[in-house]
Structure 1
Amino acid sequence: MKLWGGRFAKETDTLTDHFNSSISFDQRLYKQDIIGSIAHVTMLAKQGIIKEEEALCIKKGLMDLLEAIEKGEVSFNEKMEDIHMNIEALLISRIGDVAKKMHTGRSRNDQVALDVRLYVREEVKELQRLLLTLMNTLIELATDHTETIMPGYTHLQRAQPITFAHHLMAYFEMLKRDYKRLEFTYHTTNSLPLGSGALATTTYPLDRDFVAEQLAFESICENSIDGVSDRDFCLDLLYSLSTLMMHLSRFSEEIILWSSHEFHFIELDDAYSTGSSIMPQKKNPDIAELVRGKCGRVYGNLLSLLTTMKGLPLAYNKDMQEDKERIFDSIDTLTMCLPIFTAMVKTMKICPQNMYKAASGGFTNATDAADYLVKKGLAFRDAHEVIGKLVLHCVTHDTSLEELSLDIYQSIHPIFEKDIYEAISLTTCVNGRSVKGGPSTAAVKAHLQKARLFITTHSFA
């Protein structure tokens, strides 16, 4: 007989048991379920709803059960549907009928809402730790390459010279926003739903603020209907992780390009590459490709839960059982991707000469040549036209701006002088862009200093 079976005249069908059960995946919430139950029982005793000795017996039984689960000594039963009913049934079998008092003043609706919030809150902190490790790896790599010149791109066409450090720190800023999104998710999660009951609280004199304090929640859910039907915090998490995966996917795409023979800006370490079953020369960037590919499943989890929630009337509906597999899978995906991605980036070999050679081609210094004319007094639009004509001449004659004679420069416009060659050198082009946020060595070093401060002020003890 189910713990809720008093109203029913016969047992549920085996197919119903299997279809209705969530224990196959929500069993990972066992710790959160037990911790929440201990806080709830402590409050029940404090309020005189159950006896102190009953609470002590239940809490000891729960702690013993937690230890047994973690030792692998406990098997969960599909007929008990979910982790909540399994824990309660196991506790009754261990300590007797006193365990039945544990559920006084609560519903599985507010119980599961609590468990998921406790779980998300814990996992967000772990994801932030992994994220900080990756961010620190980017800082270390960028510190070594503040003078490594490479081409910056728009439309995947060489555009202007930058430094490798500047490029890496663009990803640092993306990840910093990801960190802050997770911080927001933590705070939207950190409100106690327990005490909401099924949807309308209870007639028992619960002290919800006491339970919130016991479980380190910042606040309580102020509306009991919202307390059991809210999954916005799950959506916040899935959106945050989708955006983070998008950033990792973009970075992976560049690593894949950079490691190709056509670019050869980097070489991936053997430990984070794979070979071909038929082509012995191949060294494939499979780790980056898998990270790029797994982005789609995290997107799918977000869209799936958004779709599940969009048509639900208040308050709780069993559809919401679909939240757990979505958040579990996304968390597992990021927990797997972040460490290996960090290790891949940390160990890749940088090829500065190839980066510099690429920056030397494609007229990446053309904008600086135009700026040179502007500083000589020419209007920018006129300067743009002059340099365009020079680039066309170079393309026609298979040469570069650096290789043109001063006579050719002056044949296009007499304002050119010998100092044009210094003005269009790649080092001058990069370091001349010393505006805050720019690629100059000084600007990037200032950025790195701020980045290190962010890591220091957000690191976990």
Structure 2
Amino acid sequence: MWGGRFDGGPAAVMREINASIAVDKRLWREDIAASKAHAAMLGRQGILSGEEAATIDAGLDQVAAEYADGKLVEDPALEDIHMHVEHRLTELIGPVAGKLHTARSRNDQVATDFRLFVRAAIDQALAGIDALEEALLNRAEQNVGTVMPGFTHLQSGQPVTLGHHLMAYFAMLGRDRSRFADARVRMNESPLGSAALAGTGFDLDRASVAAELGFDRPSANSLDAVSDRDFVVDYLHAAALTSVHLSRLAEEIILWASPMFGFVKLPDAWSTGSSIMPNKRNPDAAELVRGQSAGIIANLVSLLVLLKGLPLAYSKDLQEDKPPLFAAHDHLTLGLAAMAGMIADLIFVPDKMRAAAAAGHATATDLADWLAGEAGVPFREAHHIAGSAVAAAEASGKALDQLSLSELQAIDPRIAEAALPRLSVEASVASRTSAGGTAPIRVAEAIAAARAARRSRA
């Protein structure tokens, strides 16, 4: 492929380090699609004859059929998927195949192929997020009033509902979805026609190629077009943050499934056993989702470090842009699917959740709120009084809502009988009616709003 510039071939190690076919063979569909669009445009512009363009198009269809049947034969001497396609095309249709590379370079070719792949990867991520969102909505809907402890510092803080807790992850996924969607809009331009770095003197119709490949527009600057990998960084950033959210949810499932919590039971489909301990039921699917997030974060860092010192335009370093993207894409796709399946199949244990919510005097804030709202006590003083009530409950071995009115009035006479019903976990949850709060009526509204928003974008 180097023409007459070199007298000798590459060293064996050079050939090995230079070859990327083992990785970029995944781009064969994108390479053929972009090549077909390029050849068709060359024919329309009269750069190729109509017969030549048709011959190339038919040959590319044959190459695609062979690759789809698993007949790609890797040859490190051909370096990458682009040369493999062109080489096989030449075997099929002869020297006219060489005209396909008119007015393009491997630089704009790979940039185009990779954008097509990343765009499809974004669409897959959006579909995976949609599926997990649906699972969360379904389970939240089933548990609008299921009481559980709300934690800070992993200590019981205030009672919440399971529906509210699950909708918190729905909110995270909404932000993840927006990042992927924004990235898709930003990256949807075609580098094809930028050639090596300076554009070309051929009379191309770049806009028609962009439209045929589903891009919104051709790229504006040829130097940037062949060297830009921001779109890969955008994907990896969105994937890394999504994986962090999946990891947090996985961690909750792992904790909840432990006997110490007992909030959920893991079905067989999402559990493994132990090779030595017959009693074990391990949450390995959740642990793997949690663990794989580390790799996705590392993939983002890897690409940022790769790019940080590169001058314009193309450098061979960019051959290393694909492994982190492919790895992150594979792990994220699996992680989203696994988490959607786990959420759909989890067996919740409401009695355990309710008992845990009642422990730790979790309605102490409700007592303070009653004093501040009904008795006119400054909140800081009310906070102190409620704390004294907690200390009295602990000293007597009772739950806060088991203290009698006389015991509470011994702490502060302004505590009236009307405060007592506020100290149950159900009453506490029902009282949190502020926008975005955990009251079942608000959770139901949030679910309805989420479903309406999903319908509007469908």
Measured in 1, the distance between the counterparts of 2:280 and 2:415 equals 49
User: What is aligned with 2:288?
Assistant: 290
Give 1:148-297 correspondences, 5 Å limit: 148-297=146-295
> In 2, are the aligned partners of 1:137 and 1:342 still within 8 Å (CA)?
yes
Give 1:238-387 correspondences, 5 Å limit: 238-375=236-373, 376-387=375-386
User: What is aligned with 1:451?
Assistant: 450
Displacement of 1:343 after TM fit? 1.1
Measured in 2, the distance between the counterparts of 1:420 and 1:187 equals 54
Displacement of 1:367 after TM fit? 0.6
Runs of 4+ in 1 over 4 A off after TM superposition: none
Displacement of 1:48 after TM fit? 1.2
What is the letter of the counterpart of residue 244 of structure 1? T
The residue matched to 1:6 in structure 2 has which SS? coil
1:159-195 CA-to-partner distances (Å, cap 9, x unmatched) read: 0110000000000010111111110121122111111
Displacement of 1:453 after TM fit? 1.8
Measured in 1, the distance between the counterparts of 2:247 and 2:431 equals 32
Aligned pairs, how many?
457
User: What is aligned with 1:411?
Assistant: 410
What is the letter of the counterpart of residue 177 of structure 1? R
> In 1, are the aligned partners of 2:226 and 2:313 still within 8 Å (CA)?
yes
> In 2, are the aligned partners of 1:36 and 1:114 still within 8 Å (CA)?
yes
Are 2:419 and 1:420 equivalent residues in the alignment?
yes
Displacement of 1:306 after TM fit? 0.4
Are 2:69 and 1:71 equivalent residues in the alignment?
yes
What is the letter of the counterpart of residue 111 of structure 1? Q
> In 2, are the aligned partners of 1:136 and 1:455 still within 8 Å (CA)?
no
The residue matched to 1:160 in structure 2 has which SS? strand
Displacement of 1:354 after TM fit? 0.5
Displacement of 1:204 after TM fit? 0.6
1:239-274 CA-to-partner distances (Å, cap 9, x unmatched) read: 000001000000011100000111000011011101
1:115-167 CA-to-partner distances (Å, cap 9, x unmatched) read: 00001111211121111011000000000101100010001010011000000
Displacement of 1:430 after TM fit? 0.7
TM-score by length of 2: 0.98
What is the letter of the counterpart of residue 8 of structure 1? F
The residue matched to 1:152 in structure 2 has which SS? strand
Displacement of 1:454 after TM fit? 2.6
User: What is aligned with 2:434?
Assistant: 435
Displacement of 1:434 after TM fit? 1.0
**Cα RMSD, aligned residues only:** 1.0
Measured in 2, the distance between the counterparts of 1:363 and 1:17 equals 69
Measured in 1, the distance between the counterparts of 2:348 and 2:286 equals 16
Measured in 1, the distance between the counterparts of 2:403 and 2:71 equals 80
What is the letter of the counterpart of residue 389 of structure 1? S
User: What is aligned with 1:113?
Assistant: 111
Displacement of 1:5 after TM fit? 3.6
Measured in 1, the distance between the counterparts of 2:455 and 2:4 equals 57
1:78-128 CA-to-partner distances (Å, cap 9, x unmatched) read: 100001111111111110000100000011000000000001111211121
Measured in 1, the distance between the counterparts of 2:263 and 2:317 equals 49
> In 1, are the aligned partners of 2:366 and 2:422 still within 8 Å (CA)?
yes
Unaligned stretches of 5+ residues in structure 2: none
1:398-446 CA-to-partner distances (Å, cap 9, x unmatched) read: 2221111111111111111112221112121111111111101110011
What is the letter of the counterpart of residue 9 of structure 1? D
The residue matched to 1:438 in structure 2 has which SS? coil
Displacement of 1:456 after TM fit? 2.0
Measured in 2, the distance between the counterparts of 1:123 and 1:239 equals 13
What is the letter of the counterpart of residue 439 of structure 1? T
Q: 2:4 aligns with which of 1, 6, 9?
A: 6
Measured in 2, the distance between the counterparts of 1:236 and 1:325 equals 15
Unaligned stretches of 5+ residues in structure 1: none
Measured in 1, the distance between the counterparts of 2:146 and 2:264 equals 13
Identity of aligned residues (%): 44
Measured in 1, the distance between the counterparts of 2:72 and 2:264 equals 50
What is the letter of the counterpart of residue 83 of structure 1? I
User: What is aligned with 2:391?
Assistant: 392
Give 1:23-38 correspondences, 5 Å limit: 23-38=21-36
1:378-403 CA-to-partner distances (Å, cap 9, x unmatched) read: 11111011111111122222222111
